[in-house]
Amino acid sequence: MAKRQTVNVQQPLKRLIGYARVSTDDQVHDAQIDELRAAGCDRIYQEHGSGASRARP
């Protein structure tokens, strides 16, 4: 009887990326960043600014 051979195939690494955004100068990212880190985010992008003041098409 032939022996079965097992082949280990590595799965690609998955990355979790977070995005924290506040819109006013009075707000801070701290709570959002804490939650994103707790969720296991490898990288966190931060943005500060209001969409209301941006030029729109």
* 23, 27, 46, 50: the active-site residue: 23
**Where does residue 23 fall: left (phi above 0), alpha (psi -120 to 50 degrees), or beta otherwise?**
alpha
Cβ atoms within 10 A of the Cβ of 33, count?
A: 15
Does 23 qualify as catalytic in the annotation? yes
What are the residue numbers of the active site? Answer: 23
